[in-house]
A = this chain, B = another copy of it.
């Protein structure tokens, strides 16, 4: 596997475009489009929130009924959630516009929205945006990059990744983009994430590969504990790499899923590290667990603890909060057996041995915790299972962004 430049346009046959449609933001792009020269097998995972945005319902129909797709239309600024029948109608109107311009069946057009809940989309501007983007569709790296910029809301930078692998003598590419950065506590899938590949693979296996990944990547990050109404992760495979089509769990499937995991984990970590107001990526590894599930519950409880997140912002080795968050997680363990370590580019040090503080240097710990990516490792000494979760620190800017998001 080789990491390469690019995002959603890295794989063969995928094009992208973006435009400033004036949905809600001024002076920036706010719509993006992904298009494949040929129809794709499509997999998707969606929010488990009972309150599901209209585009989520629309895309579920595309993924589970049509099972293929050829275009994705995304807008930032308005989420099209809690918008009733009117909101559903706008998904359809968007797909109809694409159908008219590109002759793609409406139920093979995916839509995704992110932004304020409860407002209706200005559908005229959405349709005008589609009209502007279609003639600009381009397969170069820059077009994919601009699409990643256009879907941002409170994100501070675009998020992309792409890799190449070899399958049955052919070069296969997987590339993706995603956006955060608030209301991030994916439960099934994350905010908006779009992954494209030119691999030839059956829709069943594509869905299975994506579902497995989502559990260990997007579902293991949290910015603020709020599971959005719009979480959507889409994976499109157009087969243009001309590899022998993957229809069973063979060596090619292994290679493909390993690369896909890298792409999804990279995007998930980018999202966590760019959480609203965040100054640091906070990684929590629980090792020595009896089961993976137990390690997941424990690590996720720590990255969602407001107190721990605030301590990370303060570069404060307040390990009691970490042990406390493990304690209320619901998972069983013996607090008096826990060893805890902090690690970053500045070094690694042990903080707790068997549940009690070792004689560590606070100064040294603060140095380790002052890096832009910080890891806490908790060894609960019960078995060989482990899990990792990713979050970020809690800062003044998180409050600032969210006290005044709509205005």
Contacts and interface: CB of A to CB of B under 8 A. Distances in A.
A326 interface: yes
Given A118-B320, A357-B118, A50 B328 contact: yes
A50 B100 CA distance: 60
Contacts of A335: 50-51, 82
B402 A311 contact: yes
A399 interface: yes
Contact of A333 (B47, B50, B229): B50
Given A328-B50, A404-B314, A320 B116 contact: yes
A401 B228 CA distance: 28
Interface stretch (A25-33, A203-211, A219-227, A281-289): A219-227
A253 interface: no
Given A51-B323, A117-B323, A316 B82 contact: no
A381 interface: no
A99 to B, nearest CB: 28
Copies in the complex: 2
For the residues of A in contact with B, the DSSP-based class is loop
A398 B277 CA distance: 14
A289 to B, nearest CB: 14
Contacts of A328: 47-51, 185, 187, 226-227
Contacts of A357: 82, 118
A306 interface: yes
A225 B356 CA distance: 24
A356 B82 contact: yes
B314 A79 contact: no
Contact of A406 (B183, B226, B316, B352): B316
B313 A228 contact: no
Interface in A71-116: 79, 81-84, 116
Contacts of A52: 327
Contact of A324 (B48, B226, B395, B403): B226
Contacts of A402: 306-307, 310-311, 314, 394
Given A226-B305, A307-B226, A81 B314 contact: no
A224 B352 CA distance: 25
Interface string A312-326: 011010111101111
Interface string A204-242: 000000000000000000001111110000000000000
A250 interface: no
A332 interface: yes
Closest 6 CB pairs of A and B: A117-B320, A314-B403, A51-B327, A310-B402, A227-B328, A49-B327
8 contacts: A51-B323, A118-B356, A185-B328, A226-B306, A310-B405, A314-B403, A318-B405, A394-B402
Interface of A: 47-52, 79, 81-84, 116-118, 182-183, 185, 187, 224-229, 304-307, 310-311, 313-314, 316, 318-321, 323-328, 332-333, 335-336, 352, 355-357, 394-396, 398-407
Given A50-B328, A310-B399, 5 more contacts: A118-B323, A229-B324, A313-B399, A316-B404, A398-B399
